[in-house]
Amino acid sequence: MNSRSLLLSVALAATLTACNDDFLDKFPETQINQENFFNTEEDLAMYLYNLYDFPGIGLYTADAATDNAATTGVTELKTMMISAPSSQTLTSGWDWSSLRDINFFLENFQRAQLSQERLDHFEGLARFFRARFYANKVKRYSDVPWYDEVISTNEEELLMKPRDPRAFVVERIMEDYRFAAEHVDPTSAAGAVNGWVVKTDFARFALYEGTFRTYHPELDLQATADDFLRTARDVAKDIMDNGGFALYSTGHPDQDYLNLFNQTSLAGNSEVILGRYYEDNLLNSGWWEYGFGNYEYNPVKDLVQTYLMADGSFYTRQPGYETNEFVAEFANRDPRLSQSYAYPGWELIFTSTYSQGGGLYVQQLAKNFSGYHQIKGFMNSTDQTVRNSVDVPVYRYAEVLLTYAEARAELGELTQGDLDLTVNLLRDRVGMPHLAMNPEVDPVQADRYPNITSAQRAELLEIRRERRVELGLEGYRYDDLMRWAAGHLFEKEPEGLYFSGLGKHDLTGDGEPDIMLIAASESIPDTKETNGLGVPLIYYRAGTLGQDASVFLKNGTSGTVQVTADRGTFVAPKYYYRPIPQAEVRLNPNLSQLFGWE
Q: What is the pLDDT of residue 12?
A: 39
Task: Give the model's confidence band at 357: pLDDT under 50 very low, under 70 low, under 90 confident, else very high.
Answer: confident
What's the whole-model pTM score? 0.93
Neighbours of 596 (CB within 10 A): 12
| Domain range list for the chain | 200-287+379-474
What pLDDT sits at residue 47? 96
Please give the C-alpha separations between residue 2 and each of 261, 263, 266, 386, 492, in angstroms, as whole numbers. 22, 18, 13, 20, 46
| Average pLDDT over every residue of 342-347 | 95
Counting every residue, how long is the chain? 598
Per-residue pLDDT, averaged over 242-258, amounts to 98
pLDDT in tens, 37-59: 999 999 999 999 999 999 999 99
Classify 425 as helix, strand or coil.
Answer: helix
- pLDDT of 274 > 50? The answer is yes
Question: Is 14 a residue whose pLDDT tops 50?
Answer: no
Question: For residues 396 and 402, what is the distance between their CA atoms, to the nearest angstrom?
Answer: 11
Q: For residue 355, how many C-alpha atoms fall within 13 Å in the half-sphere facing its CB?
A: 6
- φ, ψ of residue 62 to 5 degrees: the values are -80, -5
DSSP character at residue 219: G
69-117 pLDDT tens trace: 999 999 999 999 999 999 999 999 999 999 999 999 999 999 999 999 9
Give per-residue pLDDT as tens, 522-549: 999 999 999 999 999 999 999 999 999 9
User: What pLDDT score does 258 carry?
Assistant: 97
Distance (Å, whole) CA 518 – CA 515: 10
Confidence bin at 6 (pLDDT 50/70/90): very low
Coil, helix or strand at residue 395: strand
Pair 153, 587: CB distance under 8 Å: no
Assess whether pLDDT exceeds 80 at residue 141. yes
Please tell me the distance from the alpha carbon of residue 275 to that of residue 52, in angstroms, as a whole number.
12
8 Å CB contact between 406 and 207: yes
More confident residue, 18 or 356: 356
Please state, in angstroms and as integers, the Cα–Cα distance from residue 45 to each residue in 50, 109, 174, 192, 511, following that order: 9, 10, 23, 10, 60
How many Cα atoms sit within 13 Å of 544 on the Cβ side?
A: 4
Reply yes or no on domain 200-287+379-474 having CATH 3.70.10.10. Answer: no
- Grade residue 359 by pLDDT with cuts at 50, 70 and 90: confident
* Whether pLDDT at 289 is above 80: no
In angstroms, the Cα distances linking 422 to 187, 306, 404, 434, 441 are 24, 19, 8, 10, 20
Angle at 577 between CA 572 and CA 579, to 5 degrees: 120
**CA atoms within 13 Å, Cβ hemisphere of 430:** 29
What average pLDDT score do residues 577-581 get? 98
Query: Of 557, 560, 539, which is closest to residue 496 (Cα–Cα)?
Result: 560
Average pLDDT over residues 442-452: 97
Average pLDDT, the chain: 92
Q: Is the pLDDT of residue 501 over 80?
A: yes
Chain-centre distance for alpha carbon 41: 34
Is the pLDDT at 15 greater than 70, yes or no?
no
Q: What is the pLDDT of residues 148-201, one digit of tens each?
A: 999 988 899 999 999 999 999 999 999 999 999 999 999 999 999 999 999 999
Q: How confident is the model at residue 1 (pLDDT cuts 50, 70, 90)?
A: very low
- Local confidence band at 31 (pLDDT 50, 70, 90 cut-offs): low
Q: CA angle at residue 186 from 181 to 189, to 5 degrees?
A: 130
What pLDDT, on the 0 to 100 scale, is given for residue 36?
A: 81
Read off the DSSP letter of residue 338: T
Cα 26 from Cα 142, distance rounded (Å)? 24
pLDDT score of 21: 34
CB 176 within 8 A of CB 445: no
In this prediction, residue 364 has a pLDDT band, given cuts at 50, 70 and 90, of confident
The C-alpha atoms of residue 384 and residue 505 are separated, in whole angstroms, by 35
Which residues on adjacent β-strands are paired with residue 562? 495
